Amino acid sequence: MKTHPAEGAVAACRDADPALFFQDRPGPAHDEKVLAAKRLCHGCPMRRSCLAQAVRRAESEGIWGGFTTPERRRLREHAARMRLLDPGLVADLQAGRRIQVPASLRPALVHRLHGLGWSEVRIAEALGVAPFAVRAAGLLAADATLYARAEDEAASPAGARAAA
Contacts of ligand SF4 in 6-25 (CB under 6 A): 6, 11-13, 21
Q: How far apart are CA 153 and CA 12, in angstroms?
A: 20
Q: Which is nearer to ligand SF4, 44 or 137 (CB)?
A: 44
Q: Which is nearer to ligand SF4, 34 or 136 (CB)?
A: 34
Q: How far apart are CA 22 and CA 153, in angstroms?
A: 23
Q: Does 79 help bind ligand SF4 (rule: CB under 6 A)?
A: no
Contacts of ligand SF4 in 89-128 (CB under 6 A): none
- Where helices occur in the chain by DSSP H, the ranges are 30-42, 47-57, 69-84, 87-94, 106-115, 120-127, 131-155, 157-163
Q: Which is nearer to ligand SF4, 65 or 107 (CB)?
A: 65
Site string for ligand SF4, 27-56 (x = CB under 6 A): -------------xx--x-xx--x------
